[in-house]
Amino acid sequence: MARCKNCGSQIEDNSSVCSICGQINPIKQKKVKTVDITTRLEQDKVDFSAYRPKSRKIAVLLFCLVGFSGAPYLYLADKAKAYISILSSVIFIASAILLGVFVLGDLLLPLLIVIGALYAINIFIGLRYLTHHDIKDGQGEFLV
């Protein structure tokens, strides 16, 4: 026995009207979508030419050597992060130069501190890319 979708009372399976509440077509019909599982995916028709996986090791190497230049993010096809990296590096280096020249009178020390900090930050980011295997490139593909 089925139940009425309006009042919940039990009715006959072939009933077109509920005898309690008068609901027309009271039985909930289950919509089942079938899928033909006999079809095969043909390997010849799959286009793999658009897929170009990026190497995790190359990305880490770029982060450790020239990470402040935005090159690792350009390699990973993430232009927004590349522009942010370049802009922040230019701002930090320019502020170190201005601080060194106008405030401290020594250009070398603040510049070395800022460049060392930028290298340390990019090495940390590179190690994160090396150890986390769920990181994707700018096109949404996992690194290999």
| Alpha-carbon distances, residue 26 vs 6, 15, 59 (angstroms) | 7, 8, 62
Averaged pLDDT score across all residues of the chain: 84
13, 20, 29, 35 from 66: Cα distances, Å: 73, 78, 63, 51
Q: How many CB atoms neighbour CB 62 within 10 A?
A: 22
Domain residue limits, the chain = 1-28, 56-131
Instruction: Enumerate the H helices of 14-78 as residue ranges.
Output: 56-66, 71-75
d(CA 4, CA 11): 7
The three-state secondary structure class of 4 is strand
pLDDT of residue 40: 61
Res 83: pLDDT: 95
pLDDT of the residue at 2? 77
98 confidence band (pLDDT: 50, 70, 90): very high
Q: How confident is the model at residue 52 (pLDDT cuts 50, 70, 90)?
A: confident
Residue that wins the pLDDT comparison between 30 and 110: 110
Cα 113 to chain centroid, rounded:
33
- Interval 24-49: pLDDT, tens: 776 766 666 666 666 665 655 656 66
d(CA 131, CA 124): 11
Is a pLDDT exceeding 90 seen at residue 126? yes
In 3D, which of 143, 122, 20 has the Cα closest to residue 68? Answer: 122
100-123 per-residue burial string, b: 16 or more CB within 10 A, e: under 16: beeeeeeeeebbeebeeebbebbe
The pLDDT of residue 102 is above 80: yes
